[in-house]
């Protein structure tokens, strides 16, 4: 996996391997979810201060994924992620999977993560630093969409 980093977005590039392919000849849906989790974990390791990484782990409480088009063996795909809003112990994260050759969107996901104290295994509030790095301001209520 190759990495691309900006303050707003973090990206991994992966090549579809034989073990990623299902009986229909394209990337299995579970592989997309693995990529969603892999890019989030890599983003955390890249951006979070070491002392925060030592005491905090993340668990998924919800995945929403829309499959748009199939990836096949040998495709090079960009898996990019960025943080969304956070409220209490709920942190939204967004991910897109795109085929690099043509930029076609293959999948889009929204995942909700919960911070867990590494020592106790219980949900834990995060420091202001982590909240600032891994969330955006919650939008005001209204009729607009933040998707």
Looking at the DSSP bridge assignments, the partners of residue 3 are 12
Instruction: Give residue limits of the domains in the chain.
Output: 2-133
Q: What is the pLDDT of residue 4?
A: 52
CA 146 from centre of chain: 17
Cα distance between residue 29 and residue 71, in whole Å: 10
Q: What is the pLDDT of residue 37?
A: 97
Cα distance between residue 53 and residue 11, in whole Å: 20
pLDDT digits (tens, 9 = 90+) for 31-50: 999 999 999 999 999 999 99
Sign of CA dihedral 111, 75, 99, 105: negative
Residue in this structure with the two tokens 């299995």, named with its chain if needed: 28
Confidence of residue 144 (pLDDT cuts 50, 70, 90): very low
Closest CA to 117 of 49, 54, 61: 54
Cα distance between residue 96 and residue 78, in whole Å: 8
Cα distance between residue 3 and residue 20, in whole Å: 20
pLDDT digits (tens, 9 = 90+) for 53-89: 999 999 999 999 999 999 999 999 999 999 999 999 9
**pTM metric for this prediction:** 0.86
Q: Measure the N-to-C terminal CA separation of the chain; round to a whole number of Å.
A: 27
Cα distance between residue 27 and residue 17, in whole Å: 9
In the predicted structure, residue 123 carries a pLDDT above the cut 80: yes
CATH (residue range 2-133): 3.10.129.10
Q: What is the pLDDT of residue 137?
A: 58
């Amino acid at each position: 996996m190759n990495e691309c980093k900006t303050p707003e977005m973090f990206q991994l590039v992966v090549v579809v391997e034989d073990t990623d392919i299902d009986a229909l000849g394209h990337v299995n849906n579970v592989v997309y979810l693995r990529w969603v989790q892999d890019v989030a974990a890599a983003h955390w390791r890249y951006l979070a201060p070491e002392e925060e990484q030592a005491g905090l782990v993340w668990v998924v409480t919800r995945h929403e994924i829309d499959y748009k088009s199939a990836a096949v063996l040998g495709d090079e795909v960009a898996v990019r992620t960025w943080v969304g809003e956070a409220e209490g112990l709920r942190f939204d994260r967004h991910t897109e999977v795109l085929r690099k050759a043509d930029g076609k969107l293959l999948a889009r996901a929204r995942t909700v993560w919960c911070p867990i104290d590494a020592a106790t295994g219980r949900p834990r509030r995060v420091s202001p630093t982590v909240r600032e790095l891994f969330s955006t301001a919650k939008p005001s209520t209204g009729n607009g969409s933040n998707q």
